[in-house]
């Protein structure tokens, strides 16, 4: 049976939002996602007028949707697309990454947004394919190694594009998983860094997550409604982790108790806000190898590079 849209009462609904009880037509659904992202951005002053924004775009549904939403946000605010750039990191994973690079390139040219690509090989001297062969032990997990490299690579790409803000497509599900991982690992302090209000880093770069209040499920549906092309193939090096278990755990709960993710997210926000007040300011310590901000003498990126090259030459 088809329901009329609860919002406009005109068109037939294509989506049922269980936690609010709303039936939404295509137009009202996509608008609700775009409005939500815009509200999140203004509530936390994520993007100010005149700031140049680099969007981290991998070629997956979340990041391409974010690029689309940002472009629309810029258009709606009469801002030039020149202040928007998509940064894409080429990890050097043959086959997998080649396909997504093409998807991103085509999508960017369709939107009229500049696409800047930087690779692990040119930045760190080693590709993911090579790193997987020479890593000193299986304990050096592909995802944590790649995550360390990716964060640095995105920073460098955004800096070279002259950006003031780096936007990534982390959604509510990602945040809930990270929250639980920190809790379960006893890293309560880290929850303080999870607050959506952007922290300014050295050089004044801000990191923002406009999708934190939107669930993964709704972003997938958004991408489908907007006919955004995306790569669905998963990374060949992805290792099953506790993150996967938590993802299924929350999805199972949400199915039985619609709205529970929103509640959990609201709790995370409160905890994060309190923890944020207790955080020690990041020191002005620099890595002795690369000279960038670091908590120790040598940063995690340089440690990883050293561990890999040791095995390569030996
Ligand atoms: Zn409607
Ligand atoms: Zn370093």
pLDDT (tens digit per residue) in 177-221: 999 999 999 999 899 989 999 876 656 789 999 999 999 999 999
Asked whether 301 and 152 are in contact (CB, 8 A), the reply is: yes
Report whether pLDDT(227) > 50. yes
Confidence label for 137 from pLDDT (cuts 50, 70 and 90)? confident
CA–CA separation, 186 and 238 (whole Å) = 25
Instruction: Identify which ligand lies nearest to the alpha carbon of 293.
Output: 2
Where does the chain have alpha helices with state H?
26-43, 61-76, 96-111, 120-124, 128-134, 142-160, 172-185, 216-225, 242-256, 260-278, 300-313
Give, in degrees to the nearest 5, the angle at Cα 153 between 83 and 124. Answer: 145
pLDDT at 67: 98
Separation of CA 298 and ligand 2 centre (Å): 5
CA of 12 to the centre of ligand 1 (A): 7
Query: What does the pLDDT read at residue 304?
Result: 93
* pLDDT tens, position by position, 241-289: 889 999 999 999 999 999 999 999 999 999 999 998 888 777 778 999 9
pLDDT for the residue 139: 81
Q: Which ligand has the nearest atom to the CA of 27?
A: 1
Predicted local distance difference test score (pLDDT) of residue 314: 47
Alpha-carbon distance 305 to 134, whole Å? 11
Q: Is 239 helix (H, G, I), strand (E, B) or coil?
A: coil
pLDDT digits (tens, 9 = 90+) for 3-60: 999 999 999 999 999 999 999 999 999 999 999 999 999 999 999 999 999 999 999 9
* pTM of the entire predicted model: 0.94
In the chain, the domains with their CATH numbers are: 38-279 (3.40.50.620), 283-314 (no CATH)
Q: Ligand 2 centre and the CA of 178: distance in Å?
A: 24
Written as six digits, the tokens of 266 are 């609201």
Of all ligands present, the nearest one to the C-alpha of 300 is 2
* CA 232–ligand 1 middle distance (angstroms): 29
Distance from chain centroid for Cα 16: 26
Give dist(CA 26, CA 33) in Å, integer: 11
pLDDT score of 201? 62
Contacts of 243 (CB under 8 A, 6+ apart): 177, 181
DSSP class of 25: -
Which residues make Cβ contacts (< 8 Å) with residue 49, sequence separation at least 6? 77, 79
For residue 144, pLDDT beyond 60:
yes
Query: pLDDT digit string (tens) for 72-128?
Result: 999 999 999 999 999 999 999 998 888 899 999 999 999 999 999 999 999 999 999
Under the banding of pLDDT at 50, 70 and 90, the label for residue 1 is low
What confidence tens digit (pLDDT) does each residue in 260-273 have? 999 999 999 999 99
Residues 143/237, Cβ–Cβ less than 8 Å: yes
């Amino acid at each position: 049976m088809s329901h009329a849209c609860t919002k406009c009462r005109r068109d037939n609904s294509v989506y049922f939002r269980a936690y609010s009880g709303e039936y939404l037509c295509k137009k009202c659904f996509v608008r609700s996602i775009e409005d939500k992202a815009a509200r999140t951005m203004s509530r936390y002053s994520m993007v100010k007028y005149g700031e140049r924004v680099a969007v981290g775009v991998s070629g997956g549904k979340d990041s391409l949707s974010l690029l689309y939403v940002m472009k629309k946000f810029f258009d709606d605010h009469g801002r030039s697309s020149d202040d928007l750039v998509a940064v894409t990191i080429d990890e050097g994973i043959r086959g997998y990454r080649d396909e997504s690079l093409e998807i991103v390139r085509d999508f960017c040219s369709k939107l009229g947004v500049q696409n800047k690509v930087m690779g692990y090989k040119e930045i760190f001297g080693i590709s993911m394919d090579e790193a997987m062969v020479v890593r000193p032990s299986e304990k050096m997990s592909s995802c944590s190694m790649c995550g360390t490299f990716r964060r640095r690579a995105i920073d460098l790409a955004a800096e070279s594009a002259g950006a003031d803000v780096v936007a990534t497509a982390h959604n509510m599900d990602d945040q809930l998983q990270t929250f639980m991982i920190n809790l379960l690992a006893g890293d309560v302090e880290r929850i303080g860094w999870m607050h959506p209000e952007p922290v300014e880093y050295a050089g004044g770069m801000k990191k923002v997550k406009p999708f934190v209040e939107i669930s993964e499920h709704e972003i997938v549906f958004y991408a489908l409604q907007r006919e955004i092309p995306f790569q669905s193939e998963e990374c060949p090096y992805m290792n099953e982790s506790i993150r996967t278990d938590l993802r299924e755990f929350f999805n199972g709960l949400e199915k039985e108790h619609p709205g529970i993710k929103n509640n959990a997210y609201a709790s995370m926000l409160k905890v994060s806000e309190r923890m944020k007040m207790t955080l020690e300011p990041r020191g002005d310590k620099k890595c002795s190898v690369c000279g960038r901000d670091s908590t120790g003498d040598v940063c995690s990126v340089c440690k990883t590079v050293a561990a890999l090259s040791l095995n390569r030459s030996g």
